[in-house]
Amino acid sequence: MKCVVVMLRNGDYKERRAEIELLCRTAGYDVSKTFAQRAPPRARYLIGPGKVEEIHSYIAREGISLVVFENFLTSRQIMSLEGVFGVPVIDKFDLILNVFEDHARSREAKLQIELARLKRKLPYIKMQLGRRVREDHPGFGGSGEYIVHSTLAEIQKRIKKIEERLSKFEWRVEIQSRRRKKEGKAVSLVGYTNVGKTTLLNTLTKAGKETKDELFTTLSPKTASLRINGDLVFVNDTLGFIRNLPHELIYAFRAALREIASSDLVLVVLDVSEPVDEFVKKKQMMDDTLVRIGANNIPTIYVLNKADLVEKVEVEKLLKNAVIVSAKEGLGIGTLKKEIMERLK
């Protein structure tokens, strides 16, 4: 599917552009062009009317099937843009959910995605239904209002049902977590998506979990164990994070993230091969995320992964409590295990 990307040109523009284009490719979209505008956000379209017309002309000329906004849109903005472009419009939230759907394997992950999508789309669905009913039933009364209210009631009913199922799943996760903590210590891997957490899990534990060079390959927690000096250690691989991860997604995957907050030790995995400014930004993002999920007071080791891709680690990346490794090549893993046991004493 051919798409165009649209974004406001502010902040860390280059990194945001590279990330949204990679997300599009991961979702299976062919990015034909990226449009950027250096301007404050507008109420109706987010971007200015001149840029809207420029994109509209390009869509018609090039046969574009989808418009992806890097910035988050309101339901009213999406409806207004679709009215002009004549093709579906999604934002980064929807795009992430589309990638999640492609990678969801467990029933719980699929329900978490459906919950996030329903809650996100409820205002949009309400406006779309209202518009259609007003067109089909002038005056918008009687049967028209009943159609809107009954449809929304069904959606709310579905949301409640999913939340009830997920609460049972959360309870099972909690029971499993308590049982493991009685048997040994719990260590959680956290980090930016595609930073190599699952590869590190496999190298530490010989778990043999599937790995791919893609975003968000881990949606449901993966747990494997190892023994260090005879002590049992459970290692949890968790959902990868991304710049401006929406709060609704954090809420939907709270059961998985609760595993992190109940750990005895957190390994924050960073890509040591990235440029210094991007490395520092992602390190700060991970620190902020640990605060958001209530895991900032847990002992932490920074794991600087992908050392096989650099000749020398820049001094700006030599963090306190950091261990340099290559999960792919097995470099530094012995040192990491020793550090893990020291911190778990």
Query: Angle between the 92-103 and 107-136 helix axes, to the nearest 10 degrees?
Result: 130
Report the pLDDT value the prediction gives residue 222, as an integer from 0 to 100: 77
pLDDT of residue 241: 78
Is 63:85 a contact under the CB 8 Å cutoff? no
pLDDT of residue 253: 67
pLDDT at 137: 54
Strands 231-237 vs 222-228: parallel, antiparallel or unpaired: antiparallel
Per-10-residue mean pLDDT, the chain, length 345: 95 88 91 95 95 97 96 92 96 89 78 87 78 58 63 90 86 74 86 88 85 57 84 85 72 70 92 92 89 88 95 87 93 95 89
The third-level CATH classification (topology) of the domain covering 2-99 is Rossmann fold (3.40.50)
Q: Tell me, what's the pLDDT at 63?
A: 95
Give pLDDT, residue 65: 96
Q: What pLDDT does residue 138 have?
A: 54
Summarised one tens digit per residue, pLDDT across range 117-166 is 888 888 888 777 766 666 655 554 545 566 677 888 898 999 999 989 98
Average pLDDT, the chain: 85
Domain 184-344, CATH class in plain words: alpha beta
Please tell me the predicted confidence (pLDDT) of residue 66: 97
When computed from its CA atoms, the radius of gyration of the chain, rounded to whole angstroms, is 23
**pLDDT attached to residue 240:** 76
Q: Element (H or E) spanning 240, and its range?
A: none
Q: What is the pLDDT of residue 88?
A: 95
| 216-219 contacts at long range (C-beta below 8 A, 24 or more positions apart) | 216/26, 216/96, 216/99, 216/100, 216/103, 216/240, 216/242, 217/103, 219/100, 219/103, 219/104, 219/105, 219/106, 219/109, 219/112, 219/253, 219/256
Predicted local confidence at residue 305, as pLDDT: 96
Provide the 10 A C-beta neighbour count for residue 127: 14
